[in-house]
């Protein structure tokens, strides 16, 4: 969910930047789309400056959802 700000530290590559969570000192946020390709993103990589309220989708999933609606 959007209020989660830490991914599990296990060497797994996250985010579109493909860095492991422990390689960055940035907060992480989870995409609420269950089929998201990355699931976890560094705030700075997706332009998040503060924890959003409610569900949050990464730019790629947001774009896809908008496309699917039209």
Cα–Cα distances in angstroms (integers) from residue 44 to residues 24, 40, 67, 68, in the given order: 10, 12, 25, 27
Residue 19's Cβ-count burial label (10 Å; 0-12, 13-18, 19+) is: middle
Q: How confident is the model at residue 69 (pLDDT cuts 50, 70, 90)?
A: confident
The answer to whether 68 is annotated as binding is: no
Query: Does 42 belong to an annotated binding site?
Result: yes
User: Residue 34, annotated ligand binder?
Assistant: no
pLDDT tens per residue across span 17-47: 987 666 667 789 999 999 999 999 999 999 9
Q: Domain map of the chain by residue range?
A: 13-69
Report d(CA 19, CA 38) in Å as an integer: 11
The C-alpha atoms of residue 35 and residue 69 are separated, in whole angstroms, by 17
> Under CATH, what is the fold of the domain 13-69?
Herpes Virus-1 (3.30.40)
Residue 50 marked ligand-binding: no
This prediction has a pTM of 0.71
């Amino acid at each position: 969910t959007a209020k989660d700000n830490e991914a599990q530290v296990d060497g797994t590559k996250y985010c579109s930047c493909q860095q492991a969570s422990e390689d960055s000192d940035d907060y992480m946020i989870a995409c609420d789309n269950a089929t998201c390709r990355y699931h976890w993103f560094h705030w700075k990589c997706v332009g998040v400056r503060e924890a959003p309220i409610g569900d949050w989708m990464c730019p790629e999933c947001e774009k896809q959802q908008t496309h699917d609606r039209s």
